[in-house]
Amino acid sequence: MGNSGARRTAEADERIDVRPAVGRYDDFYEVVGVKKPGGGGCWCMSYRDSRVRNEERPGYMRNLCETEPGPGELVYVDDVVAGWCSIAPRSTYRRLMNSRTIPFVDGRDAWVAVCFVVRAGYRKRGLMHHLLAGAVEHARAHGAEVVEGYPADVGADRVDVISGYVGTVRMFEAAGFERAAETSGVSGGRRRWVMRRELTPGAVPAAAAG
């Protein structure tokens, strides 16, 4: 199932679309996987369950990519995978369920866009905006009532690649999210916020319906 937001950019006539990771483990690996033999890495497991050993993480994520709803979304430029967003219910992220810095806003199991990765060579092209839009629609399609993110409040400043993996408040605001709660967490020395967007499960976005 591809995101209905597939489009061509005016600048370079590139086709950009967002697709679920289900059935696309190899593409997930291209973006997030550790290529060095024996090398350690997150494999997008830091929030899910950091107790899983490095050598078991590829298999863990492969299994998630084999069944709905999958662990996230991938963005493609002219059918070449270029980036990743982890989007899943908060209850599936062990670190978030036990977090002392990211508060719960209410008792609902919000879906969370917890991290973004864009491959070198594809950065500074707005792909994180596409990923967030696709993540929202993926969550909506699977019955989510609300979507959250915990981005850094960087104001008008640029954010470095490493600390910017959580996104920025202004990026979430541009996607229709609102500040719901301040956290005690930081990324790159900047305060993180709980950003929320309420959804109507199964509703078709106006742009797609029109």
Question: How does pLDDT run across 95-123, given as a tens digit for each residue?
Answer: 999 999 999 999 999 999 999 999 999 99
Q: What is the pLDDT of residue 6?
A: 44
Number of Cβ within 10 Å of residue 142's Cβ equals: 17
Q: Which of 13-17, 25-29, 90-94, 206-210 has the lowest mean pLDDT?
A: 206-210
Average of pLDDT values for 43-49?
95
Nearest residue to 138 (alpha-carbon basis) of 157, 168, 113, 106: 113
What pLDDT was estimated at residue 155?
75
The Cα–Cα gap between 155 and 152 comes to: 9
pLDDT at 28: 98
Mean pLDDT score, 166-181: 96
List of domains in the chain: 10-205 (3.40.630.30)
Q: Which residue has the tokens 């470095």?
A: 160
